[in-house]
Amino acid sequence: MKQPNFLCLPIQLVTAAILLSLVSLTACSKPYSEAQLRQDIAQKLMIDIRYFCNDGTDAKSCRTPVTALPEEISDLISDYSIGGVILFRENLQSIEQIIRLNHQLQQAAQQSKAKQPLFIGIDQEGGRVFRTPREHTTAFTGNMAIGATYKQYGTHFAEQSGAIIGAELKALGINLNFAPTVDVNNNPENPVINVRSYSEDAEVVAKLGLAQLLGMQQQGILATLKHFPGHGDTHVDSHLGLPKVSHDRARIDAVELVPFKHSIQHGDPAMIMTAHIQYPALDNSQLIDMNGNRQYRPATLSRAILTDLLRNDMDFQGIIITDALDMAGISHFFSPKQALIETFKAGTDIALMPIRLHHPDDLDGLAELIDAVVNAVERGELSAGEIQQSAARIRHYKQHYQLADSIPADTGQSITAAHTLLGNEQHRLVEQQLAEAAITLVRGDNLPLDAAITNLLLVMPERSGCMALQNELHHARPSLTTDCVSMDDYQAETFSSRLQTADAVVMGSITPAASLVEFGGMYDQHQTTGERLTPQQQQELLPRLIRQAKAADKQVFFVSLRTPYDISALANDADTVLAVYGYNTHQQQNDNQHLVTGPAFAALARILTGLAEPEGELPVSLH
């Protein structure tokens, strides 16, 4: 290939620290070679290693989790100087395994010509989006639970959860967290954000997002605000389609952008993640998709949004990273090469999951992708100077957060220290305090359960929730007998027979249905189906069951286990209505028994039995 004649441009240094460390680059003391360009492009890529099959399995069928680094992926990282890796639940099985895998990843990076440590990232929001094993790490009940505590506790739980999540990730060798989510959820039909948002109030979201971000970054974890410029007012999941927000600029400034502006002004966020969402009021330019149709540029591909607005107008100095480029909001409309070139043109620093690398046959695709970017530079479509600036920004943040110094020489010591820290007694206490402080009494005055209630029937959406609440109720009031009907295997005859012997009924609801991000992404679309009753069928059934219980003269406690928007439609006939905001469960070993538990269910049991009072406030409006 002919050696391109790259322009050597002055670097726009992003902080005073970069000015001191990189000032010599402005003089352009040596040419920007093609080899260096390729290395810089690779630093701008973050790949996923969720699955890899080198045993002859077909590439499309590969579901073998990477829990130890395959030689092919190790060589790929070393040969190309890849900048980062994202891990998923399948990669994370035990404390020992996680630490060893991360050490293998960093060793591979150290063998590259770039000699740069990897960004090792994860979606560890707390609540429903949480990748590490819950039995080993502290998951919390999530952002909306934190929002429910704001009136009583301010930013306390945002700070504490951020610090604990950050400390535990650091102990595992993970250095980058794709959290906090600062989307303002003011759309009750939002299928993907909902309970992942702190509130519908932009100012509350801004304060809690900043507090959680600072908690993580003070532990040495790069935190990420997402999803810019805001995913809270959509009714389409960008994993499945391309949403459009049609508000005018004044409304976007007053709501969606508020949390991002607040953290940029007060918190020096390391990263901001883009949204695969069209915002015509911010950018009404169009491009041709791979189907030949004209599309408004989604934020991920928009220079007006990422460079003009975020980088220049809002003065964001950190790293801009895309949301996963395999999501339908991008991949159903743009090829991997077009998406990568367009997002780099827009001003993105890091492209997340730009290509699938789950099979030896996939690996050549990475070279082709880098070739495509080099060719775009040669023909003037991409700026070599901007790629150089972007790579310098990435190297600065890796140095600033001392990622190379954090790589352990001895994984044994790291494993011992992690066992002491992860999910320890103090961390679990804060987790439980948050869950309890969040529970909101929406309606009713018959708490706690009357002493005359000795037999309680539970109706839960999932069997794990049944088991967790039964376990925690037995702990809170040993004299209480409980029985449970799970929607996993609902039978009308079973409910009717058990209702006859019950003194009262607790009914739980999860709406909306779990989204792909909770399972981990596009490869798990099959996991959102398969229940005996679909989420819609459960919603249709619950009001009938409540009326049936009331007709049998039973007291009914309705519990919203996710976003409380469902209360208005489902719980009009219930005597008491509670919002819990979480339904995570995990196994806990106790006296040689494996018991199912979860912070929200433990807190609910204490509220129902009078060991605690509900203190939470609804962070969203019910219609």
Q: Which two tokens stand for residue 541?
A: 């059934």
Instruction: Specify the higher pLDDT residue, 9 or 302.
Output: 302
CA dihedral 201→206→207→212, nearest 10 degrees, is: 120
* Band of pLDDT at residue 239, cut at 50, 70 and 90: confident
- Model confidence at 11: pLDDT above 90: no
% of the chain at pLDDT higher than 70: 92
* Band of pLDDT at residue 286, cut at 50, 70 and 90: very high
Of the candidates 136, 129, 116, the one whose C-alpha atom is nearest the C-alpha of residue 43 is: 116
Tell me the domain boundaries of the chain. Answer: 16-420, 439-608
pLDDT for position 454:
96
pLDDT for position 537:
87
Instruction: Specify the higher pLDDT residue, 189 or 603.
Output: 603
Read off the amino acid at residue 257: L
Q: Which two tokens stand for residue 52?
A: 């890899």
Domain 16-420 sits in CATH at 3.20.20.300
- Model confidence at 28: pLDDT above 50: no
> What is the average pLDDT across 187-197?
92
Reduced to 3 states (helix: H, G, I; strand: E, B; else coil), residue 590 is strand
Reduced to 3 states (helix: H, G, I; strand: E, B; else coil), residue 456 is strand
pLDDT for position 623:
76
DSSP string, 599-621: HHHHHHHHHHTTSS------SS-
303-355 tens-digit pLDDT:
999 999 999 999 999 999 999 999 988 999 999 999 999 999 999 999 999 99
In this structure, the number of other CB atoms found within 10 A of the CB of residue 581 comes to: 30
- Model confidence at 199: pLDDT above 70: yes
434-448 tens-digit pLDDT:
999 999 999 998 999
pLDDT for position 521:
52
d(CA 76, CA 126): 32
- Model confidence at 406: pLDDT above 90: yes
Catalytic residues: 323
Displacement of CA 503 from its chain's centroid (Å): 40
* Band of pLDDT at residue 488, cut at 50, 70 and 90: confident
pLDDT for position 436:
98
d(CA 434, CA 438): 6
556-571 tens-digit pLDDT:
999 999 999 989 899 9
The CATH class given to the 439-608 domain equals: alpha beta
The residue whose two tokens read 């005073």 is 16
* Band of pLDDT at residue 240, cut at 50, 70 and 90: confident
- Model confidence at 524: pLDDT above 60: no
- Model confidence at 15: pLDDT above 60: no
> What is the average pLDDT across 382-407?
97
Burial class (CB in 10 A: 0-12, 13-18, 19+), 443: middle
Q: What are the beta bridge partners of residue 278?
A: 244, 298
pLDDT for position 328:
85
Burial class (CB in 10 A: 0-12, 13-18, 19+), 294: exposed
pLDDT for position 519:
60
Report the 3 state secondary structure along 499-527: HHHCCEEEEEECCCCCCHHHHCCHHHHHH
Reduced to 3 states (helix: H, G, I; strand: E, B; else coil), residue 43 is helix
pLDDT for position 30:
63
Decide the pairing of beta strands 222-228 and 176-177.
Answer: parallel
pLDDT for position 512:
77
Read off the amino acid at residue 19: L
d(CA 531, CA 488): 6
Of the candidates 86, 74, 112, 102, the one whose C-alpha atom is nearest the C-alpha of residue 354 is: 86
Q: What are the beta bridge partners of residue 120?
A: 85
Of the candidates 99, 121, 168, 181, the one whose C-alpha atom is nearest the C-alpha of residue 397 is: 121
Mean model confidence pLDDT for the chain? 91
> What is the average pLDDT across 187-203?
94
* Band of pLDDT at residue 359, cut at 50, 70 and 90: very high
Decide the pairing of beta strands 271-274 and 286-288.
Answer: unpaired
Q: Find out whether 473 and 457 touch, Cβ atoms under 8 Å.
A: no
> What is the average pLDDT across 473-501?
94
What is the DSSP secondary structure assignment for residue 330, as one 8-state letter? H
d(CA 333, CA 343): 14
